[in-house]
Chains A and B, each alone.
Chain A
Amino acid sequence: MTIGTASHWITAPVLVPAVIAALMLFVGDRRLGAQRALGLASCIALAVIAANLLARGASGDVQPYFAGDWPAPFGIVLVLDRLAAFMLALTAAVALFALVAAVGGRDPVDAHGRHFHPLFQFQLMGLNGAFLTGDLFNLFVFFEVLLIASYCLLAHGQSAPRLKAAVHFTVINLAASGLFLIAVAMLYAVTGTLNMADLALRVRELPAADVPVARAGALLLLVVFAVKAAAFPLYLWLPGAYAAAAAPIAALFAVMTKVGVYSIMRVHGTIFGPGAGDAALVTGSWLEVGAIATAVLAVVGALGAQSIGRMTAYLTIASVGTLLIALGRFSAEALGAALYYAAHSTFVIAALFLLAAEIGFRRGAAGDRLVPGPAIARPLVLGGAYLVAAASVVGLPPFSGFVGKLMILTATRDLPATVVLWTVVLASGLLAMIGLTRAGAIVFWTPDGPAPDAPVRRDRGPWPALAMLACGIALAVFAAPVKRYADAAGRQIADTQRYAADLLGDGKARSVRPFPGGIRPEGGKP
């Protein structure tokens, strides 16, 4: 290859979980301890690799990996850039803590059903692959990998509400997968390529007759990603699914909505970004309108929720709304702000899911429902953690939510709709605060009886949740370096030319199609 090929480490985030998951199937369900050890080892390895790739991504080059050394538009290509490295690191951190939460505690979730650990690894494989791939069809394939694993993980433990949520979740995502394929096929029909870099160059020079098809394909992709990200009006599946899932699984799923947002950044930011000729910024104001509706309806849902778990699910949607508001016009600054906010909201919301489960456990029969119930024994750590998480998620200083929202407000200051966007971002924070305060007051301050008898074993405490909150606080403490990284990532996403040049070299590599309008191979028969 003429282009600087990157190290083989880029494949590791996909290969490690795939190999480990296969190994686990040989180990078998009976030896849960061995599976746990393998799973934790894999997650720790992924965290180390992600840190390594994060440092590599910081060099600022777009680093492609050509599987089998096939040149870019033809073979399978993985791409490491700042955005991918950032998302990989985020996933690795959340996955590690979620897995610790799943195997630890008094009632380990992984013992509730079969094959928890292999599914968890396959989910990670799909997530990492989706972040790394540089090809639209492989994005579909990795989406399917992570979705198949998530269908099973959601139903893990099998109770009636979980199975009902799983049926809804599976059906809507299968329908979305069909739309994904239609959109991919439409883009292939007009451009003759599915490589993202190649696509980005092709959509600029489409003949006028083909532009509407490309735009329709791009908007269909927006619908698909909005289903994954749970944006208005396609979010209805999320509250039921996330509230029904076991807490560590819901915590991992907090990353899954971000995959939708990531894909919007990648596809509509890089391929259909401001420089894409007649197909530029196809999302237009749809994205902003959808984002505003998402944020508003989600906080209304959070206010009306009857349990902390469900409220957290609605707050997940609210965070997606805020993220999409930031994406709006795909400016480099806004993309950076969105990336920072994505990291913050993933950590804090994952922590809230785990805290909700812990609160539910300690309140006995009242669970995490917002009804007066028995007092919580030793509420200091749990209550303090809830306070930090709540303050962070609504965006109070000095926590990461404040920094993230500040970045988003700064990035959207010069838009025509600034007044509306700012009102929505700030008011949704206020409403979320009312909801979270009400929930906290009911659970911690208005007990209607003494605490249930202390569990026989000593509390281990919500350590994974605390660790995630610590990550959120670290984001606030080290806001400057993280912001620099995120801003650089934003500029990199918006710089389509550079992305294409780094991937395709001289840009002469072109796909070959055997019909009029397609480009024939050199020396091919006429």
Chain B
Amino acid sequence: MELLVATGIGVVAACGVYLMLRGRTFSVVLGLTLLSYAVNFFIFATGRLAVGVPPVVADGAPGYADPLPQALVLTAIVIGFGTTGYLVELALRARDETGTDHVDAEEPRQ
């Protein structure tokens, strides 16, 4: 399971970085979103991967999952959601104002 989760995070992060390095604001937004997914999973994994245990202390259970990373992920998701929303709006605005969706606000010369 560790291998699967680790490769999953790695692939998503790599796709995110690739998209972020592209020249159009839409790909950049997608890239940042993918990167933040990868980051959220990574934070989640720092609580160690535990299967079949309750999220908080319960009587009779063999243990419990680390609740702190879950709280951190929740905060990170909320913040990421807000900033992504703002970035989408900013990108649209910049496209309206400059007439291009290129991140440098001008079409590259052919």
Contact = CB atoms under 8 A, between A and B. Distances in A.
B46 A188 contact: yes
Contacts of A141: 75, 79
Interface string B12-40: 00000000100001001000100110011
Number of chain B interface residues as a range: 35 or more
A511 B46 CA distance: 15
Given A181-B43, A185-B46, A163 B66 contact: no
Contact of B98 (A155, A160, A511): A160
Given A175-B35, A181-B43, A514 B64 contact: yes
A519 interface: no
A186 interface: yes
Interface string A161-199: 101101110110011011001101110110000000000
Contact of B105 (A152, A163, A513): A163
A26 interface: no
Contacts of A144: 79, 83
Interface in B61-86: 61-66, 68-69, 72, 75-76, 79, 82-83, 86
B39 to A, nearest CB: 5
Contact of B68 (A155, A177, A188, A524): A188
Contacts of A513: 66
B103 A160 contact: no
A277 B69 CA distance: 26
Interface string B78-98: 010011001100110110011
B6 interface: no
Given A164-B105, A185-B43, A174 B83 contact: yes
Contact of A177 (B42, B43, B83, B103): B83
B107 interface: no
A148 interface: yes
Given A141-B75, A175-B32, A525-B61, A185 B69 contact: yes
Contacts of A314: none
Contacts of A158: 93, 97
Given A141-B75, A524-B57, A182 B42 contact: yes
A171 B36 contact: no
A116 interface: no
A508 to B, nearest CB: 19
A163 B43 contact: no
**Most chain A CB atoms below 10 A, which of B39, B64, B91, B104:** B39
Contacts of A182: 39, 42
Contacts of A152: 86
Contacts of B64: 514
A515 B83 contact: no
Given A171-B32, A514-B65, A515-B50, A181 B39 contact: yes
B63 A514 contact: yes
B39 A178 contact: yes
B82 A148 contact: yes
Contacts of B86: 148, 151-152, 170
A155 B89 CA distance: 12
A159 interface: yes
B94 A167 contact: yes
A316 B66 CA distance: 43
Interface in A493-525: 511, 513-515, 518, 521, 524-525
A242 interface: no
Contacts of B46: 185-186, 188-189
B28 A171 contact: yes
Contact of B94 (A166, A188, A511, A518): A166
Nearest to B60: A525
A86 interface: no
Contacts of A168: 103
A152 B87 CA distance: 10
A85 B12 CA distance: 42
Contacts of A184: 43, 72
Contact of B72 (A137, A148, A170): A137
A214 to B, nearest CB: 13
Contacts of B103: 167-168, 171
Nearest to A179: B39
A321 B105 CA distance: 30
A168 B57 CA distance: 45
B74 to A, nearest CB: 12
Contact of B91 (A148, A161, A167, A189): A167
Nearest to B29: A171
Interface string A213-237: 0000000000000000000000000
A171 B97 contact: no
Interface centre among A166, A170, A171, A518 (most CB of B within 10 A): A171
Nearest to A181: B39
B98 to A, nearest CB: 5
A515 B63 contact: yes
Nearest to A188: B46
A185 B72 contact: yes
A163 B57 contact: no
Contacts of A511: 68
B83 A159 contact: no
A159 B42 CA distance: 38
B1 to A, nearest CB: 14
A515 B72 contact: no
5 contacts: A155-B93, A167-B90, A178-B32, A186-B46, A514-B65
Q: Which 7 A-B pairs have the closest CB atoms?
A: A164-B105, A189-B46, A163-B94, A185-B43, A185-B46, A515-B48, A181-B39
